[in-house]
Amino acid sequence: MPEFLHLLTSSEALDRLLGAIPDSSRTGVERIPTVEALNRVLSEPVTAPHPLPPFARSTHDGYAVRAEDTFGASPSLPAYLKLIGEIHMGVPADLVVGPNQSALIHTGGMIPDGADAVVMIEDTQMIRDGEIEVLKPVAVGQHVLMEGEDVKTGETVLEAGTLIRAQEIGGMLALGVTDVNVACRPRVGILSTGDEIVSPNEEAQVGQIRDINTHTLSALVSQAGGEPVARGIIPDRYDALYEATERAHAEDDIVVITAGSSVSARDITVDVLGACGEPGVLVHGIAIKPGKPTILAVADGVPMIGLPGNPVSALVVAGLFVGPLIRSLLGMERSTLVPKVSAQMSINVASEAGREDYLPVRLHITEDELMAEPIFGRSNLIFTLVRADGLVRIPPEATGLSAGTVVEVRLF
Amino acid sequence: MPEFLHLLTSSEALDRLLGAIPDSSRTGVERIPTVEALNRVLSEPVTAPHPLPPFARSTHDGYAVRAEDTFGASPSLPAYLKLIGEIHMGVPADLVVGPNQSALIHTGGMIPDGADAVVMIEDTQMIRDGEIEVLKPVAVGQHVLMEGEDVKTGETVLEAGTLIRAQEIGGMLALGVTDVNVACRPRVGILSTGDEIVSPNEEAQVGQIRDINTHTLSALVSQAGGEPVARGIIPDRYDALYEATERAHAEDDIVVITAGSSVSARDITVDVLGACGEPGVLVHGIAIKPGKPTILAVADGVPMIGLPGNPVSALVVAGLFVGPLIRSLLGMERSTLVPKVSAQMSINVASEAGREDYLPVRLHITEDELMAEPIFGRSNLIFTLVRADGLVRIPPEATGLSAGTVVEVRLF
């Protein structure tokens, strides 16, 4: 326990990091077609150039009428209305409904002048050509979508910082907004260090290990809305790492280094991160497992993260920090919503008080329960995460979780 | 209530649809670089060509030793070991540790021949050049990752049908698997019908409405792993719709039609879906709101869906059916895991028994609760969903939800 006591929690550490990034570090703006804007973030508000619906529309198949002409109508005492025509879809209504008149209208059709309600077709009878019986009264506005009922002209329909989902694309296109200004994807420079690391495309010799972190982190960055920039495998030497980091610092919006595994390699990383600019290293060590040796820095406005070299630690910690960082540079609100599924712990798990644990678990569906089974790999090798469906967070105040405890699993 | 009694639930309807799709409808296979395989689905298992780790590695900075030489060691009675050299990272260990010998090793370094454990550096003292004191004994294998501890040669590490996440990319690259066979993305032909519908790029005239559904559904298809194919805006006439649908049926893996809003337009859609092949229409109408007029069909192996034309209904129903359909054609297991957040209903909401409701809600974070506030838009216009963070499902057996009830919100 003592080794974690003087360390920040992950949430405190994130606050410190985000708090040290000036607004000027936000990424620039680019204009793109709305249909290609899925998962991008608006850089300016969108206002409605016209109302939605743009004209009053029928919500049912039936007859456009003047509501007052139907008052008191019933099957035994119907209202008789003259049928003066049909409202065709997609063209302006070219008739005016006068007293005791009606016009055939389809769902979505434009309410013609004069009419103020729609009688559903099932509440009418055609008695002879040119005349209908209305069997049920309608109120003014009934079965009518009013012009501007969804959106009024000039209304701010989307705020800057909005993540564009399917429905935002639909909403903008409904308003004829076919191009949109979005925040440029933050470039995230990813450096992998270690004298033993080789590219996956190379034949690994005895004593060598293929680079995993560049690619797992690239995938995470892409999913979080950033643009990964692979900056290569760097030897565990100060000058080599400094040179590569400085280049990333100059060209990218965020720099992520996965440190070599040894203490001396981690020392080099913290020295390099401290040398790139002001204020430098903000956090060195966090009260989480995995991920204790994480380093957070800001250098002349550029956020920089030193992740542990272990692939599981690197990916878990990147999920906690790189995602929020990307969203911050995109101008999004900090979200506290993490989608989860509830499950029961299958066995007891111990945890140190004062330390936040992220435990990989696999989910099993039993008869009527979802069970979360911890994946133990003391070595935190990559297939620990391949076997896992998500992570269970054990909060710092807990000393473990008992079998049967209902936990929330953050799915990968 | 009676109008829903004879209808299938959404889950029964999905079962019927998926059950009618032959295995031969699965999409083909393409070979792509592993680094580009994020969110794709493996079409064949991956087996390990070599063990992981590929050689025994140290988990700490320290000294590689023969464990038996440290037995009984303590600060008052240290074991004295000759230091015969250093294990360099990334090259084969070029020395053999004999009795009463040790070699300096770094985290991740290769365990040299002769050694079977690592003493952590903090449990040693350097007394003079070429000799160390060991202050604490180690057991055989201590602080060592064994060769094959993560994965053994020939082990199936990933099954066919696996969704490739960041960690699967990492795991494959660790094994040198740099190319991979994945299922081709299902082509999803999307037809939007309605005489009043125009492309968002056109100026909408009075009486016209811009097409939303093609684009919201395209976004949903992309996110679900499919390839959207916009098949245009089709007039509400049988011959025009049949021709366009037949072309999509011939060229695409899935066909989705958003029906015109009127009853006659929906009748045309069901006729067209019935005419494309065997067995034809399987489900016409589902006990859900929104989405009751949904049509599910399979025509000569091609699944086809007729969605309501209303943009909210179309998007909600597509989330229930199009996603699982894409995953099925990709060869994935049917997943029952839907990530959610828990929240309290802010007000009472009524629902008909026998009908499953999907209620758009906006989430508000109050002092210590997450509140789900229903977005009521009787008209189900697109900005209803823009204002919503997710959907609350009200099950068929419920007649509503009381304020304060804890519900699970499926985030969009």
Q: Mind spelling out the 3-state secondary structure of chain B?
A: CHHHHCCECHHHHHHHHHHCCCHHHCCCEEEEEHHHCCCCEECCCEECCCCECCCCEECCCEEEECHHHHCCCCCCCCEEEEEEEECCCCCCCCCECCCCEEEEECCCCECCECCCEEEEHHHEEEEECCEEEECCCCCCCCCEECCCCCECCCCEEECCCCECCHHHHHHHHHCCCCEEEEECCCEEEEEEECCCEECCCCCCCCCCEECCHHHHHHHHHHHCCCEEEEEEEECCCHHHHHHHHHHHHHHCCEEEEECCCCHHHHHHHHHHHHHCCCEEEEEECECEECCCCCEEEEECCEEEEEECCCHHHHHHHHHHHHHHHHHHHCCCCCCCCCCEEEEEECCCEECCCCCEEEEEEEEEECCCCEEEEECCCCCCCHHHHHCCCEEEEECCCCCEECCCCEEEEEEC
For residue A38, list chain B residues with Cβ-Cβ distance below 8 A: 219, 222-223
Q: Would you call B110 and A158 a contact, using CB atoms and an 8 Å cutoff?
A: no
Q: Does A174 touch chain B (CB under 8 A)?
A: yes
Q: Would you call B382 and A309 a contact, using CB atoms and an 8 Å cutoff?
A: no
Fold that domain B29-52+151-183 belongs to in CATH: Molybdopterin biosynthesis moea protein, domain 2 (3.90.105)
For residue B168, list chain A residues with Cβ-Cβ distance below 8 A: 386
Chain B: residue whose CA lies nearest to A380: B150
pLDDT of residue A4: 57
Which of A363-377, B119-133, B188-202 has the weakest average pLDDT? A363-377
The structure tokens listed for B241 are 């719709």
At B318, the amino acid letter reads: A
For residue A193, list chain B residues with Cβ-Cβ distance below 8 A: none
Give the integer Cα–Cα distance in Å for B294 and B244. Answer: 19
Helix pair B311-329, B213-223: axis angle to 10 deg: 30
The structure tokens listed for B112 are 């040299």
Chain B: residue whose CA lies nearest to A266: B107
At A405, the amino acid letter reads: T
- CA distances in angstroms from A178 to A37, A154, A169, B207, listed in the order given: 10, 17, 9, 20
Superfamily of domain B340-411: MoeA, C-terminal, domain IV (2.40.340.10)
Q: How many residues does chain A have?
A: 412
pTM exceeding 0.90: yes
pLDDT of residue A207: 93
Fold that domain B2-28+184-329 belongs to in CATH: Molybdenum Cofactor Biosythetic Enzyme; Chain A (3.40.980)
Q: Give ranges for CATH 2.40.340.10 in chain B.
A: 340-411
Largest separation between any pair of C-alpha atoms in chain B: 96
What's the mean pLDDT in B236-243? 96
Q: Give me the residue from A88, A210, A215 closest to B176, CB to CB.
A: A210
Q: How far is CA A71 from the centre of its chain?
A: 50
Q: Does B150 touch chain A (CB under 8 A)?
A: yes
Q: Which of residues 224-263 of B touch A (CB under 8 A)?
A: 236, 260-263
pLDDT value at B1 more than 50: no
Give the integer Cα–Cα distance in Å for A355 and A360. Answer: 16
CB atoms within 10 A of CB A61: 21
Could you say which architecture CATH assigns to the domain A2-28+185-329? Answer: 3-Layer(aba) Sandwich (3.40)
What's the mean pLDDT in B222-234? 97
Chain A: residue whose CA lies nearest to B108: A261
Average pLDDT, rounded, for chain B: 94
Residue B376's pLDDT band (cuts 50, 70, 90): confident
Residue B300's pLDDT band (cuts 50, 70, 90): very high
Q: Where are the alpha helices (DSSP H) in A189-259?
A: 213-223, 238-251
Q: Would you call B54 and A339 a contact, using CB atoms and an 8 Å cutoff?
A: no
pLDDT of residue B334: 76
- Determine whether domain A30-52+150-183 maps to CATH 3.40.50.720: no
Whether the Cβ atoms of residue B86 and residue B32 lie closer than 8 Å to each other:
no
Region A57-145: CATH code? 2.170.190.11
Which residues, listed in sequence order, are joined to residue B192 by a DSSP beta bridge? Answer: B233, B258
What's the mean pLDDT in B278-297? 95
What's the mean pLDDT in B74-97? 95
pLDDT value at B264 more than 60: yes
Give the integer Cα–Cα distance in Å for B296 and B284. Answer: 7
Predicted confidence (pLDDT) per residue in B14-73, tens digit: 999 999 999 999 999 999 999 999 999 999 999 999 999 999 999 999 999 999 999 999
Q: Give me the residue from B109, B262, B411 closest to A61, CB to CB.
A: B262
pLDDT of residue A412: 86
Q: What ipTM was reported for this prediction? A: 0.94
Q: Would you call B262 and A165 a contact, using CB atoms and an 8 Å cutoff?
A: no
Q: Which of residues 198-227 of A touch B (CB under 8 A)?
A: 198, 200-201, 203-213, 215-220, 222-223
User: How does pLDDT run along chain A (412 residues), one tens digit per residue?
Assistant: 345 558 999 999 999 999 999 999 999 999 999 999 999 999 999 999 999 999 999 999 999 999 999 999 999 999 999 999 999 999 998 999 999 999 999 999 999 999 999 999 999 999 888 999 999 999 999 999 999 999 999 999 999 999 999 999 999 999 999 999 999 999 999 999 999 999 999 999 999 999 999 999 999 999 999 999 999 999 999 999 999 999 999 999 999 999 877 888 889 999 999 999 999 999 999 999 999 999 999 999 999 999 999 999 999 999 999 999 999 999 998 776 788 889 999 999 999 888 999 999 999 988 778 999 999 866 678 999 999 999 999 999 998 999 999 999 999 8
Q: How far is A279 from chain B (nearest CA, A)?
A: 30
Residue with tokens 């956090």, as numbered in its chain: A283
Q: Does B339 touch chain A (CB under 8 A)?
A: yes
Best mutation target among A382, A407, A409, A412 (most B Cβ atoms within 10 Å) is: A382
pLDDT value at B4 more than 60: no
Q: Does A156 touch chain B (CB under 8 A)?
A: no
Best mutation target among B61, B106, B310 (most A Cβ atoms within 10 Å) is: B106
pLDDT value at B92 more than 60: yes
Q: Give me the residue from A204, A220, A261 closest to B54, CB to CB.
A: A204
Grouping H, G, I as helix, E, B as strand and the rest as coil, residue A199 is coil
Q: Which of residues 267-306 of B touch A (CB under 8 A)?
A: none
Q: Would you call B106 and A210 a contact, using CB atoms and an 8 Å cutoff?
A: no
For residue A261, list chain B residues with Cβ-Cβ distance below 8 A: 106-108
The structure tokens listed for B176 are 């040198």
Q: Give ranges for CATH 3.40.980.10 in chain B.
A: 2-28+184-329
Q: Strand A209-210 and strand A197-198: pairing?
A: parallel
Q: Strand B29-33 and strand B57-58: pairing?
A: unpaired
What's the mean pLDDT in B108-136? 95
Q: Would you call A171 and B204 a contact, using CB atoms and an 8 Å cutoff?
A: no
Give the integer Cα–Cα distance in Å for B380 and B312. Answer: 6
Q: Would you call B89 and A236 a contact, using CB atoms and an 8 Å cutoff?
A: yes
pLDDT of residue B99: 98
Q: Give ranges for CATH 3.90.105.10 in chain B.
A: 29-52+151-183
